[in-house]
Amino acid sequence: MFLLALSFGTGFFFFTAIEPPFQMKCEENILNIPQKNREDNADNLCVLLWFHASDYFVYRGLPIGFQYEMFKELEKDLGRNIDIKVETDVKIIQKELFEGDFDIIAMDFNYSAFLLPLFETSIPHSYSYPVLVSGKQTDTIQTNPIVISHDFSSMLFFDEESPFSKYPVQTSLFSTEELFEKVDSGEISYLLCDYNQVITLLPFYSNVQILEKAGPRFERRWVLNKKNIQLNEEINQWLLEFKKTEKYNKLLKKYFSQESSLINASFAHKQSKDISQYDAVIRKYAKKYEMDWRFVASIIFQETKFISGLSGKGGSYGLMQLMPVTMDYYGITEEDDDEAHIRVGIQHLNMLRNSFEEVEDQVEKLYFVAAAFNAGRGHIFDAQRLCAKYEGDFLKWNEVAKYLKLKSHRQFAKDPVVKSGYFPGTYTVKYVQQVMERYSAYKAAYP
């Protein structure tokens, strides 16, 4: 064990006891304290978000989107952390409608008169309408089928005067985004999808055009958890007030206007099939240590946004901002290339993962790995011990995170179960949230 002086901000130092990566001692045994049941962390708001062309997608490694930004505003105004899980499988989302595991499910549904009473929905957060698109070279005289994705949520309704009102309709198992490619290549002639998606996707595909509106405007709502009576009232009140703001109007223009600078400038080319130029190297070493390469990519983005050669205030260096003691242990220096730093970073992440063998759920374990990568294992072990002492579930990150933040309070920093002393844990909790949120986005965008 040795003392390490860490600096936070301007001139603020604190000392903490650190175990080197190769000294595990008996810390795992200390954590084997019988746990008692405890309610889930009420401070977090859990959201299941559909991976949708306009609502949530990844651009240059960064998650963006209309509903994503709305949730960020909701998080800020309600003062509650929002954990966003991104899903690409419609069947899983439909199943979750009846499970009650999420506070908000953000996906457009075609509510039948039979199903509507079963759900609690928010007031409309926005509106859209169906449109028919085709390739610019499509011969509109031929009555080729109109294709609809299985995830399409609106009603198809053409005016009687429309030449397309008598065209046959086919449902496809492909997503709207995948079908857009088929329209662009000429594989299919007509596609029905909602306007919001079309506006986002059109700049990617020069051969696709809007033919006409294909149905009435429909409301876009969130599905809320019926158990959260007070929270649902807060969400609806927030929507009511937020929709009056200039920020909301800017979001509408940013994502759904044909004059949007984001859509027409930033998305002038199709999204890259790679997260970064380092994908091949990350995949190579992540495979060696049986770690999800997209989790590693999210860590690197969080640390340096894939910018090579950066130095941190505490002496950290490289794409993964490795500390000098870590580089020494693994036998590399600042002179080594990016591949060496990625290799060592993944090796270090693997060591941290092995430190949390008690956490059986593999995704849950990654929350602890990200936290330990940022703060060091000692502080995370402290938070687990505090959590267990106060009858929490020390194998659930949401509960452990509360005690990591409490380590900045004298009462908890001096608790007998705390071995590494004071730590301002709020930053690490936010770090983990951002890493895992981005990881979820990467998994959806790069399956």
| Residue 133 to residues 150, 196, 197, Cα–Cα distance (Å) | 17, 13, 11
Residue appearing with tokens 């990519």: 297
The predicted-structure confidence for 285-342, as pLDDT tens digits, reads as follows 999 999 999 999 999 999 999 999 999 867 899 999 999 999 999 999 999 999 999 9
Is the Cα torsion angle 67, 73, 77, 78 positive or negative in sign?
A: positive
For residue 7, give the 3-state DSSP assignment.
strand
Looking at residue 105, its pLDDT comes to 95
Bridge partner residues of 132 (DSSP):
192, 212
> Is domain 127-219 classified as CATH 3.40.50.300?
no
Give the per-residue pLDDT at 375: 94
- One fold for 44-124+222-256 and 127-219: yes
| Domain segments of the chain as ranges | 2-37+275-445, 44-124+222-256, 127-219
pLDDT tens digits, 382-392: 999 999 999 99
- 171 burial level (CB within 10 Å; 0-12, 13-18, 19+): exposed
Q: Domain 44-124+222-256 is in which class?
A: alpha beta
2-37+275-445 placed in CATH 3.30.565.10 = no
Question: Rounded to two decimals, what is the model's pTM?
Answer: 0.65
Q: Which of 270, 298, 305, 320 is nearest to 439 (CA)?
A: 298
Q: What angle do CA 5, 9, 15 make, to 5 degrees?
A: 20
The confidence band for 156, taking pLDDT boundaries of 50, 70 and 90, is low
pLDDT digits (tens, 9 = 90+) for 79-103: 988 989 888 888 888 889 889 899 9
Of the two residues 198 and 234, the one the predictor is more confident about is 234
Return the pLDDT at 270.
47
